A = this chain, B = another copy of it.
Amino acid sequence: MKLTALAGGVGGAKLAHGLAQILPPEDLTVIVNTGDDFEHFGLSISPDLDTVCYTLAGLANPVAGWGRADETWNAMANLKRLGAPDWFNLGDSDLATHLERTRRLREGQTLSQITRDFCAAWGVRHTVLPMSDDPVRTMVDTVEYGELPFQEYFVKHRCEPRVRGFRFAGIESARPAPGVLEAIQEADALVICPSNPWVSIDPILSVLHPSSFIFHPLVVAVSPILGGRTVKGPAAKMFAELGIEPSALAVAEHYRGLLTGFVLDTVDAALAPALQRENVRTFITNTLMNSPADRRRLAQDVLNFIRSTPPNTEH
């Protein structure tokens, strides 16, 4: 069975890693949000893409979920000494990724070429594709500061400002990266990872031409919200600030029209009937991924769910 997963950062990377533990390299493609890419100190930084690649490579910091394991922070300490902006953590090993990505982009290479080469160097055998080689920049409209570039909202302001909306700057002229549409067309199923619907998955969906995506007959999402809260990140807070009660149901509603099946945490078992009434099949399991074994177990649940779910012939 060939799967294509759509992923943001930490939560998406964890499920992608679980799937990669089960599926052979040729059967898994991970399409990653690049709406959170930004430029800092002249470097081109792709946080979600790096998190997914580091995680699949076994190079990620297992505690933080982002950044590198066994990282050192000497550049950062010296940046602080110089009074430089220090709100975005740049580990010494991680810096090499940004430096070489920047060098290659300036040389005219595309982000997808660079990602392929980096994955080869890091021993990532499954396919990781940025959603686009064209720049898309998620802007978060906030009550306190107006529109903020995503990383300023997310890291500098620690998701504290109240959200009013989102804009994906550059989306009009952004094309899916080479291989993205093929990976979706050729997949037996799409998996929407437990990533933030607003700022991780929506940019990917927005860059995909509707005709190639929303009619995929088998789309399964894993809820990033359980018991009304997120494991990590501001998804639940965003739903609430946008006037929507945060819940797994709200996530399914967000993806309305796309979903064939939806994976709910056991704490949300009571929400299943409402989804079934909307013609969305449900699967209830423990969706927490606290260890690599958890990731594999959830991935296996998702695969079993997909195998038992008939494609949506209405699509």
B-contacting residues of A (Cβ < 8 Å)? 41-43, 71-72, 74-79, 81-85, 90-97, 99-100, 102-103, 106, 117-118, 121-122
Contact = CB atoms under 8 A, between A and B. Distances in A.
Contacts of A95: 75, 78, 92, 95
Copies of the protein in its oligomer: 2
A76 B100 CA distance: 11
Please indicate which of the listed interface residues A74, A93, A106 has the most CB atoms of chain B within 10 Å of its own CB: A74
B100 A82 contact: yes
A121 B79 CA distance: 10
The 6 A-B residue pairs with the shortest CB-CB distance, nearest first, are: A78-B96, A74-B92, A92-B92, A41-B99, A84-B100, A42-B102
A290 B43 CA distance: 38
Given A43-B42, A96-B79, A103 B85 contact: yes
A69 to B, nearest CB: 12
A75 B99 contact: yes
Given A42-B42, A42-B103, A97 B121 contact: no
Nearest to A73: B92
Chain A contact residues, majority secondary structure: helix
A78 B72 CA distance: 12
Nearest to A106: B42
A143 to B, nearest CB: 28
Contact of A75 (B82, B85, B92, B106): B92
B74 A103 contact: no
A92 B72 contact: yes
Contacts of A100: 41, 79, 82, 84
Nearest to A114: B82
A7 to B, nearest CB: 22
B96 A82 contact: yes
Contacts of A85: 103
Contacts of A96: 74-79, 81-82, 84
A84 B72 contact: no
Contacts of A122: 81
A43 B106 CA distance: 12
Contacts of A102: 41-42
A81 B43 contact: no
Nearest to A101: B82
Contact of A97 (B71, B78, B117): B78
24 contacts: A41-B100, A41-B102, A41-B103, A42-B43, A42-B99, A42-B102, A42-B103, A42-B106, A72-B72, A72-B92, A74-B91, A74-B96, A75-B75, A75-B92, A75-B96, A76-B96, A78-B93, A82-B100, A82-B121, A83-B121, A84-B96, A84-B99, A84-B100, A84-B103
A122 B78 CA distance: 10
Contacts of A106: 42
A153 to B, nearest CB: 20
